């Protein structure tokens, strides 16, 4: 880098070479520096891609595990609130309800299937089940919906990267 930055005439005088040879030398050095920078950026991009693949494989294995393990299925009965004040029935398990109540950002703690259940749940029934007001339940459902969208976007990006990289040569 120092040899590139030195004025051509000073370097030619110091090395007892012509300015033309010094220009060729400086151009060659600049090309080497440019190539090294491109290689560094390529390595970083490849590392990010490999990390994204690991994350995708991790997500896919978790999905496969959750599909292999039978989940407790509950009949969805939306009774709303009755005149006697009993809680509304929800399709959400006690574990999901506990996470929604206790966690500061429950949408980040739940898996995608649970997020879908929360988003699809009746807002009023969710509010009653959590002992929250309807606005807080709506905000929770919106946060869960945004997290689902974000996860979908990540998966689509990973699939796009994978399909783009299939046709290209493997980097060294």
Q: Which range among 35-49, 79-93, 133-147, 157-171 shows the weakest confidence by mean pLDDT?
A: 79-93
State the pLDDT at residue 81: 45
Rg value, the chain, Cα: 29
State the pLDDT at residue 168: 61
Instruction: Write out pLDDT tens, residues 67-97.
Output: 665 555 544 554 444 433 434 567 788 888 8
The model carries a pTM of 0.45
Which two tokens mark 89? Answer: 């029935």
Nearest residue to 100 (alpha-carbon basis) of 132, 67, 148: 132
Q: How far is CA 94 from CA 86, 106, 114, 168, in A?
A: 16, 14, 12, 48
Question: E strand or H helix at 30, and its extent?
Answer: helix 19-68
Residue 58: pLDDT above 90? no
Find the length of the chain.
172
Mean pLDDT, all residues of the chain: 80
State the pLDDT at residue 88: 53
Residue 64: pLDDT above 50? yes
Which two tokens mark 72? Answer: 């407790």
Q: How far is CA 51 from CA 30, 46, 82, 149, in A?
A: 32, 8, 51, 21
């Amino acid at each position: 880098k120092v040899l590139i930055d030195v004025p051509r005439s000073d370097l030619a005088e110091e090395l007892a070479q012509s300015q033309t040879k010094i220009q060729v030398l400086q151009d060659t050095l600049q090309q080497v520096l440019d190539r090294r920078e491109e290689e560094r950026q390529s390595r970083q991009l490849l590392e990010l891609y490999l990390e994204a693949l690991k994350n995708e494989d991790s997500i896919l294995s978790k999905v496969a595990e959750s599909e292999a393990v039978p989940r407790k299925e509950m009949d969805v009965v939306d009774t709303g609130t009755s005149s006697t004040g009993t809680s509304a029935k929800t399709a959400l398990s006690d574990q999901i309800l506990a996470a929604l109540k206790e966690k500061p950002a429950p949408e980040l703690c739940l898996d995608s299937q649970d997020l879908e259940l929360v988003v699809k749940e009746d807002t009023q029934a969710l509010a009653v089940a959590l002992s929250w007001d309807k606005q807080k339940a709506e905000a929770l459902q919106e946060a869960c919906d945004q997290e689902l969208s974000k996860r979908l976007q990540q998966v689509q990006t990973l699939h796009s990267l994978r399909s783009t990289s299939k046709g290209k040569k493997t980097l060294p």
